[in-house]
């Protein structure tokens, strides 16, 4: 008589024998054990969040956040949060803008939640950078 496993259609796992698949399996991770490069779904999530945050920042009626734009959205190493790099025109505005972004964090997170269809909405961490920190090519691409 066959065991329950074989009757349910259980198949044995295929064995990996080529070195390239082993390299992908074991060496595609950084020192902490996480993937070195974000996967396709994570990159898609970052693009969706980037678009929604650009719109949400433009819709806010906070004068301190006028003229802000999102430079990039990247996943945090642990995977629970997204790091949002926001660009301001003047270096003097960094502290003020960071405070206003912290105050608007819950509203911006709810905007992101409505734009993405995920079980959990990621936390948002903002890093405010001056426009002078960008290269001319990056500034041209943004505008």
The DSSP code for 37 is S
CA distance 92 to 64: 12
Kindly report, residue by residue over 57-112, the tens digit of the pLDDT. Answer: 999 888 888 888 899 999 988 778 999 999 998 888 899 999 999 999 999 999 99
* pLDDT of 125 over the 90 cut: yes
Q: What is the pLDDT of residue 84?
A: 95
Contact 125, 112 (CB under 8 A): no
What CATH number does the domain located at 40-142 have? 3.30.300.20
User: For the chain, which residues make up each domain, given as ranges?
Assistant: 40-142
Contact 124, 109 (CB under 8 A): yes
As given in the structure block, the two tokens for residue 38 are 């974000």
* pLDDT of 23 over the 60 cut: no
Contact 86, 66 (CB under 8 A): no
CA distance 46 to 115: 12
pTM value?
0.67
């Amino acid at each position: 008589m066959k065991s329950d496993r074989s009757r349910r259609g259980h198949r044995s796992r295929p064995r990996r024998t080529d070195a390239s698949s082993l390299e992908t399996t074991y060496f595609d991770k950084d020192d902490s054990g996480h993937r070195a490069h974000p996967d396709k779904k994570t990159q898609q999530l970052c693009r969706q969040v980037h678009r929604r945050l650009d719109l949400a920042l433009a819709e806010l009626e906070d004068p301190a956040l006028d003229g802000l734009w999102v430079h990039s959205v990247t996943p945090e190493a642990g995977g629970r949060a997204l790091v949002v790099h926001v660009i301001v025109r003047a270096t003097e505005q960094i502290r003020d803008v960071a405070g206003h972004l912290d105050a608007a964090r819950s509203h911006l997170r709810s905007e992101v939640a409505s734009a993405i269809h995920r079980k959990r909405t990621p936390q948002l961490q903002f890093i405010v950078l001056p426009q002078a920190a960008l290269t001319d090519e990056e500034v041209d691409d943004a505008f």
